[in-house]
Amino acid sequence: MRFARCIVWWVLLLLLVPVAYARLSGQDLKQAKEMVKGTLYLRIDAPIRWWRSGGFRQYPAADALLQVSPTEFNVERKLSFPPARREVYWGASPNDAVRYGKIRLWGGDALQVWMEGVPPKDDEVFIDFINIKTLDDFKKAFDLTFSRVPLQDEHPEWPEEIRRAIAERRVIAGMTKQQAFCVVGMPIKTEMGEENGVTVERWFPRNDRGTYARRESTRTGFPAIIKFVDGKVSAIEDTARAPDLKP
């Protein structure tokens, strides 16, 4: 009986080891590298955390905060790490063009993509792709992160004024939440409520990008508050009223 149990455990171990150490093959990695070449457009925010290193001479170094798996994206996980003299820079946002893509680090089921923004937003962009065991996993994560055309060009069915506003980085009345996200990305806070029996949602977009490598903090130019009624933009406030960020 004991011998039989040992055989079962060894079989299970042999089945689990390839899964635990699954990674892209050399050919799949080559195809993944080809996919990130050329000019792409971000679908989501890609903040970085930067710090200084290098002994007496301090060099700026940056790391990804955005993690993308084949099914979801997340920045909160790495934001929860201790800052340790680091600063967060929200430089790259939806519909920003990026180029010169390279896969710089990889191992196990994770890899990191480096890209550079197109001027005037020519900041570096780092993105961690996680849970990538096959080329199909990479493609799914890639499609969550990038578009090969400006976001408004993916939707010729959207009204022309909406598409033009997205191209000009403006939020206008009548936009859906998806369309507004194409402009402002992930808000720093949302509030749900009801007015006269109608569902109301308020977004507080990010107005300050933070600082990066001695650059002065820059404003995003986004509205202070976006109000949605029944899922569409009904009001836009440019006042500087800050949301209550307490949990």
Q: What is the pLDDT of residues 47-66, one digit of tens each?
A: 998 876 555 554 557 889 99
Distance CA 164, CA 157 (A): 13
Q: Is residue 195 part of a domain?
A: yes
pTM of this prediction?
0.83
Q: Is residue 14 part of a domain?
A: no
pLDDT at 151: 98
Q: Which of 109-113, 209-213, 222-226 has the lowest mean pLDDT?
A: 209-213
pLDDT at 227: 97
More confidently predicted of 63 and 171: 171
User: End of a domain among 127, 148, 169?
Assistant: 148
pLDDT at 18: 38
247 preceded by a cis bond (ω within 30 of 0):
no
User: What number of CA atoms fall less than 13 Å from residue 16's CA on the CB side?
Assistant: 6
Q: Which residue shows structure tokens 């995003």? A: 220
pLDDT at 177: 97
Sign of CA dihedral 121, 118, 146, 180: positive
User: End of a domain among 148, 179, 207?
Assistant: 148
210 and 110, same domain (yes or no): no
**Residue 128: φ, ψ to 5°:** -90, 120
pLDDT at 52: 64
Mean pLDDT of 205-226: 84
User: End of a domain among 86, 118, 148?
Assistant: 148
- 218: how many CB neighbours lie within 10 A of its CB? 15
More confidently predicted of 52 and 103: 103
Q: Which of 23-37, 133-147, 158-172 has the lowest mean pLDDT?
A: 23-37
Range of the domain at 117: 22-148
